[in-house]
Structure 1
């Protein structure tokens, strides 16, 4: 039964695990606290765009090579390597905030003294380093099981929260009530349409044995299940925040862990434990696929075969990235950034730097006759994908200066 499941599904759970981390939990919780159920539709839309982006990436991998290989062919080895290293900085920043998030989550979960998150962040990097160098099939199973655990945890908490059925249903109808709601909707999109996934999907489809046109239905079925699970978890967090925290008087959140602490007062200790365990698991789960991305990109830019992640050089690049990403306590001290600052700002950096670059490359690849021939995008898919490009460029223009000022100016004011 398990073997049959993983022959048909699993890759999408790696992709969903990469985007569903501390940042996603904070954004969803914040949306529920500030706007109630009204942005549930944005989750549905973001999931649809994420699905479509991954579908395009999968077609590049099946009918062409990989997105990084395409980049090397079009830009040349030197420029491709330089761009891969530049984008890899964003992955290391993601890893920094995720190791910090896991450490902080464990500190609060076990009631440890303040500051203990720092050694725990180092330990998190070590565990991720070991887990990430497992062969792909084993790592895929670990991440898939963890996503189903997250689904169970957050759906149970959401159901017990007692959401109002009519208001919940109304949340699926698209509407924007304020500029703040618009920005939250864009943030939900940004944290769901994760740029490393554009590179990973095109690489990992071959690890699943999906190499021909007849495999496209399998890819789409896998993507549908994975993104459905991710979307339901995100909606469940919005529901918890809207049904419990908002009526309790919460108007803003100090951290992605605040909902767990607040739930203890209202629903009991079990709800705090469930929420915090889920938050820690989600943050850890994101580290591995995100940090695979630099290793695959660098290897492909050098025109070397990663051998499904078993190549020794691949493992060294992955380990080096994790090592840098474990230094969140040092980065916190040097730049004066709190854990919350890193959780918000480092994914935001990727949204305004990595996402536009990756979206443009993907749009280029899926329209390249040389790369995927007759399977290139039709006009309908181009309309959808161009929206992702336009939105990412707009977000970079609108938010970039603020984000860089905050990162180098000591955090959020």
Structure 2
């Protein structure tokens, strides 16, 4: 496959990958680094490795079947009440995502321009509506270009400080050893994983891949025929489904390398420069400490990265939410209408004066509990011949998916037990 053709196929994973760099990630990683130094470096690394597998499986489902994960589940969950119950938890997860992203954008506008948080949230929502208009009127490719541009801004904004004040290599090496230090560190680990492996990114990626590589109307073919899908699914510009999947691996690899590196930089920046500094477990305090310790350029770039993060991720979140409702309830809600509805909870939180950083971290915990509901069906569906035919998961891929699911569910169960028992 030539480089220009490969470049043309890159994009859906980068857009979905923005969800891994939303303001909730920033709050969770900054808080973890400020409170515990390098302790939770291993959580970021493990989360990113699992994220690669999960996002690839999501994209594969969309490419091979021509359906998103919500659409597939909507057709397979026959009980209406079961389908509605599944939709409800997915909808709550999407709303938690929206809250984190709008609040993050509002905090960034406050840090940069002194705009009150409520107005900053409204502005963030308004700009995200403009981005969604691009997607709905111009199609997926222009939307990808805009979001990827914001991704570049995010990467520069959050990584520059690490270049100015490099972290301790020995501290990084020590942070790769898996361990916790009390209930709060487990809470933060769950928050980091909820921000790293986001349920709405799983739902969205399958839809983004479907929209970019939509299959032709399916001809009659047998699922027992390994070569059949290549003959009946979309062959864009003469590219077979098998080649699309190979290109998707590159797409996911690039997206996860960017997301993982930037997330690690956020935690390392806090660990190296904010650990033990009072008040730095909040975004505002972290900004002030960066301004005082590393200068206005680092602090300003950090705030600009936070703003780009809020704007880009809230658009992807609204896209995912609309897909969840359409796929599970068979109701198609316009993206703009959904954006207006899900903007309200975030504005209420800002209006009542609830601590924005606490709201961001808690929203990521909600996302962490939503992961199994997206991940378990994804692994199960992509392992079935009746769903993916010859493209179903290999045995080791399924084992890795099951291991990731068990790890995440166990961590969430441990977190719940620690919180309830006050341990």
Give ranges in structure 1 of 5+ residues lacking alignment: 305-312, 405-413
CA distance in 1, matches of 2:79, 2:337: 22
Q: Residue 246 of structure 2 aligns with which residue?
A: 217
Q: How far off is 1:223 after superposition? A: 0.6
CA distance in 2, matches of 1:384, 1:257: 39
User: Residues 159 and 332 (structure 1 numbering): CA distance in 2 closer, same or farther, change over 3 Å?
Assistant: closer
Instruction: Check the 8 A contact 2:190/2:365 in 1, yes or no.
Output: no
CA distance in 1, matches of 2:411, 2:122: 32
User: Residues 283 and 3 (structure 1 numbering): CA distance in 2 closer, same or farther, change over 3 Å?
Assistant: farther
Q: How far off is 1:4 after superposition? A: 6.5
Instruction: Check the 8 A contact 2:105/2:124 in 1, yes or no.
Output: yes
Q: Residue 176 of structure 1 aligns with which residue?
A: 179
Kindly indicate whether residue 47 of structure 2 is the aligned counterpart of residue 31 of structure 1.
no
Q: How far off is 1:361 after superposition? A: 1.5
* Superposed structure 1 runs of 4+ greater than 6 Å apart: 2-5, 401-404
Q: How far off is 1:342 after superposition? A: 2.1
Q: Residue 365 of structure 2 aligns with which residue?
A: 348
**81-90 vs 256-265, which moves further:** 81-90
CA distance in 1, matches of 2:99, 2:63: 32
Q: How far off is 1:177 after superposition? A: 5.3
User: Residues 140 and 3 (structure 1 numbering): CA distance in 2 closer, same or farther, change over 3 Å?
Assistant: farther
Instruction: Check the 8 A contact 1:81/1:298 in 2, yes or no.
Output: no
Q: Residue 238 of structure 1 aligns with which residue?
A: 267
User: Residues 381 and 341 (structure 1 numbering): CA distance in 2 closer, same or farther, change over 3 Å?
Assistant: same
Q: Residue 338 of structure 1 aligns with which residue?
A: 355
Instruction: Check the 8 A contact 2:279/2:286 in 1, yes or no.
Output: no
Give ranges in structure 2 of 5+ residues lacking alignment: 215-233, 235-240
2:298 to 259, 271, 282: 271
Structure 1 length as normaliser, TM-score? 0.84
1:216-245 per-position Cα deviation (integer Å, ceiling 9, x unaligned): 110010111111011111111122112211
**77-86 vs 38-47, which moves further:** 77-86
Instruction: Check the 8 A contact 2:279/2:285 in 1, yes or no.
Output: no
Instruction: Check the 8 A contact 1:34/1:252 in 2, yes or no.
Output: no
CA distance in 2, matches of 1:268, 1:290: 33
- Spell out the pairing of 1:157-176 with structure 2 (5 A cutoff): 157-168=161-172, 170-171=173-174, 173-176=176-179
Q: What CA RMSD, in Å, does the superposition of the two structures yield over aligned residues? A: 2.7
Kindly indicate whether residue 255 of structure 2 is the aligned counterpart of residue 226 of structure 1.
yes
Kindly indicate whether residue 339 of structure 2 is the aligned counterpart of residue 322 of structure 1.
yes
Q: Residue 72 of structure 2 aligns with which residue?
A: 70
1:96-133 per-position Cα deviation (integer Å, ceiling 9, x unaligned): 23222211221122234xxx111221222122122113
Aligned length: 385
- Spell out the pairing of 1:367-386 with structure 2 (5 A cutoff): 367-386=383-402
